[in-house]
């Protein structure tokens, strides 16, 4: 049979359309939500695929959320240009996503932000009344404006670990999320912990059961940790912990030790650092492959132009022999730095610039900005301005754009 020649001027037959499941496989591999938005605008079928709840759930599982800014007492401080997420963050900050107006009304100071994970925000309110000494807690989804009001910690649980409730514990009650880890992001867990001059106690809430369970307790003497005689309390360098591989860490003030809470075993432990960390800010992060990253910064304006970063095996003691250590130079744009948080593969820094006050040698903060150090690449990037200088408890906010919001509460 002879060869069939194309007819001059005839059109090529259209390429066969890709099956929907192959289109989904391509779209789910797009690296960032920003690029996914652009791809979804290409045609109606792409938009339908991206808008499907099952696709969004799968995409959110495979890709880490965007850093959108810093939650402060004044609301969301959005990521600012030239940060790559500035456009999405600006859209959120101009709306009322983070307004507490949709939450149950409470008196002053209202619902204070305590933590944020997976796009949710944990809030706490305390008002002494009717003998109640533990605060109210709720978990809110800013994008859907849904929230879950957590039940009170049962008095029987409190009594089983503490005995009669002591009112002075209230000022030292804190709550934070357990990172989702290997359970689905639709569910969440909250740790509530409190401490006094004798011991620490932790309680656990699970959204699966909707109930609190007794976690654990530990006495300082049994852990080999000494309370401050003046304060009558174990002093921590930061009341808000860092997290790595199922464990929370609090640096003990002017000590080479961490207070560690192992969530899987629900056990408090004291772990040692290598020497010379007494006067340093120290934070723990996940360094990959199950290894612990230790980031330390020495106090003092004259010696804070570099970070020390060491990678150690994830063992009971963090004072491993022969750690892999790196010195990370910090930008010279700032007079002083603080390490303020760690989350989602980033270390968060606050850099301050000082100005002379009244022509004297006294200095005050003229401006300050938040920066990130990406642990994987050691890249330092500016996030946003820090209004009013140090903003108290710093909560990095990671989330997805509104079109990717799923009702999780």
Does the pLDDT at position 134 exceed 60?
Answer: yes
Looking at beta carbons, which pairs linking 106-111 to residues 24 or more positions away fall under 8 Å? 106/136, 111/138
Q: Looking at the chain, how many residues does it have?
A: 409
Give the model's confidence band at 107: pLDDT under 50 very low, under 70 low, under 90 confident, else very high.
Answer: confident
- Percent of the chain scoring above 90 in pLDDT: 29
Q: Is the pLDDT of residue 392 over 90?
A: no
Confidence check: pLDDT of 369 > 50:
yes
Mean pLDDT of 288-312: 78
What is the token pair recorded at 207?
A: 């959204």
- Provide mean pLDDT across the span 255-280: 89
What are the residue ranges spanned by the domains of the chain?
20-63, 96-240+395-409
Q: Do 122 and 116 meet the contact criterion of CB atoms below 8 Å apart? A: yes
The yes-or-no verdict on residue 232 having pLDDT over 80 is no
Say yes or no to pLDDT of 5 above 50.
yes
> Positive or negative CA dihedral for 20, 53, 246, 236?
positive
Does residue 145 register a pLDDT over 50? yes
d(CA 326, CA 308): 6
More confident residue, 356 or 303: 356
Residue 405 has pLDDT above 90, yes or no: no
Residue 245: is its pLDDT beyond 80? Answer: yes
More confident: 376 or 405: 376
Instruction: Round to whole Å and give the CA distance between 384 and 381.
Output: 10
pLDDT of 268 higher than 60:
yes
What are the phi and psi torsion angles at 307 (to 5°)?
Answer: -105, 150
Query: Residue 192: which pLDDT band, with cuts at 50, 70 and 90?
Result: very high
Determine the Cα angle at 295 with ends 200 and 398, to 5°: 80
Residue reference for tokens 């009594």: 159
- pLDDT band at 365; cut points 50, 70, 90: low
Average pLDDT value for the chain: 82
**pLDDT bracket for residue 248 (50, 70, 90):** very high
- Our measurement of the distance from residue 63's CA atom to the centroid of its chain's CA atoms, rounded to an integer in Å, reads 16
Task: Write the pLDDT tens digit of every residue in 13-48.
Answer: 565 667 888 888 989 998 888 788 888 888 888 888
Q: pTM (2 decimals)?
A: 0.85
Mean pLDDT of 349-363: 72
pLDDT in tens, 161-177: 776 545 445 457 899 99
pLDDT > 50? residue 383 = yes
Mean pLDDT of 390-409: 77
Q: What's the longest Cα–Cα distance across the chain? A: 102
Residue of 7 and 154 predicted with greater confidence: 154
Q: 3-class DSSP state for residue 219?
A: strand
Q: What's the pLDDT at 167?
A: 44
C-alpha–C-alpha distance, residues 395 and 348, integer Å: 10
Q: Tell me, what's the pLDDT at 171?
A: 52
Q: What is the pLDDT of residue 78?
A: 92
| Tens of pLDDT, residues 54-104 | 898 888 888 888 999 999 877 789 999 999 999 888 887 776 678 888 899
Q: Check pLDDT > 70 for residue 357.
A: no
Q: What is the DSSP string of 249-311?
A: EEEBTTSSEEEEEETTTTEEEEEEPPSS-TTEEEEEEEEETTEEEEEEEESSGGG-SEEEEEE
Percentage of the chain surpassing pLDDT 70? 81
The per-residue pLDDT for range 310-349, each reduced to its tens digit, is: 888 766 556 555 677 888 889 888 888 889 899 999 999 9
Query: What is the per-residue pLDDT for 41?
Result: 83
pLDDT at 99: 80
Q: What is the mean pLDDT of residues 229-234?
A: 74
């Amino acid at each position: 049979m002879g060869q069939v020649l194309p007819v001059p001027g005839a059109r090529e037959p259209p390429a066969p359309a890709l099956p929907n499941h192959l289109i989904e496989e391509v779209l789910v591999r797009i690296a960032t939500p920003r690029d996914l938005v652009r791809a979804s605008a290409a045609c109606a079928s792409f938009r339908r695929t991206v808008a499907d709840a099952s696709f969004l759930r799968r995409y959110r599982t495979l890709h880490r959320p965007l850093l959108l800014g810093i939650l402060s007492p004044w609301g969301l401080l959005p990521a600012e240009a030239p940060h790559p997420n500035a456009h999405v963050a600006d859209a959120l900050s101009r709306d009322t996503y983070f307004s507490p107006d949709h939450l149950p009304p409470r008196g002053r100071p209202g619902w204070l932000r305590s933590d944020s994970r997976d796009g949710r925000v944990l809030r706490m309110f305390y008002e002494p009344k009717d003998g109640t000494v533990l605060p109210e807690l709720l978990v809110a989804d800013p994008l859907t404006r849904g929230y879950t009001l957590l039940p009170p910690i049962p008095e029987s649980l409190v009594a089983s670990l503490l005995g009669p409730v002591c009112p002075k514990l209230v000022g030292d009650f804190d709550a934070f999320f357990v990172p989702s880890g290997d359970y689905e992001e639709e569910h969440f867990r909250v740790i509530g912990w409190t401490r006094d001059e004798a011991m620490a106690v932790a309680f656990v809430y699970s959204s699966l059961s909707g109930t609190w369970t007794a976690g654990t307790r530990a006495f300082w003497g049994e852990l080999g940790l000494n309370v401050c005689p003046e304060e009558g309390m174990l002093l921590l360098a930061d009341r808000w912990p860092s997290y790595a591989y199922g464990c929370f860490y609090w640096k003990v003030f002017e000590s080479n030790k961490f207070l560690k809470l192992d969530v899987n075993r629900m056990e408090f432990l004291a772990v040692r650092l290598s020497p010379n960390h007494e006067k340093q800010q120290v934070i723990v992060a996940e360094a990959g492959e199950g290894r612990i990253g230790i980031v330390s910064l020495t106090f003092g304006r004259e010696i804070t132009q570099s970070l020390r970063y060491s990678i150690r095996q994830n063992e009971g003691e963090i004072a491993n022999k022969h750690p892999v250590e790196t010195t990370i130079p910090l930008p010279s744009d700032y007079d002083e730095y603080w390490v303020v948080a760690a989350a989602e593969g980033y270390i968060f820094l606050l850099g301050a610039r000082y100005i002379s006050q009244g022509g004297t040698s006294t200095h005050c903060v003229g401006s300050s900005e938040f920066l990130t150090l990406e642990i994987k690449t050691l890249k330092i990037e500016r996030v946003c301005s820090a209004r009013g200088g140090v903003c108290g408890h710093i909560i990095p906010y990671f989330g997805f754009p509104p079109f990717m919001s799923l009702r999780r509460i």
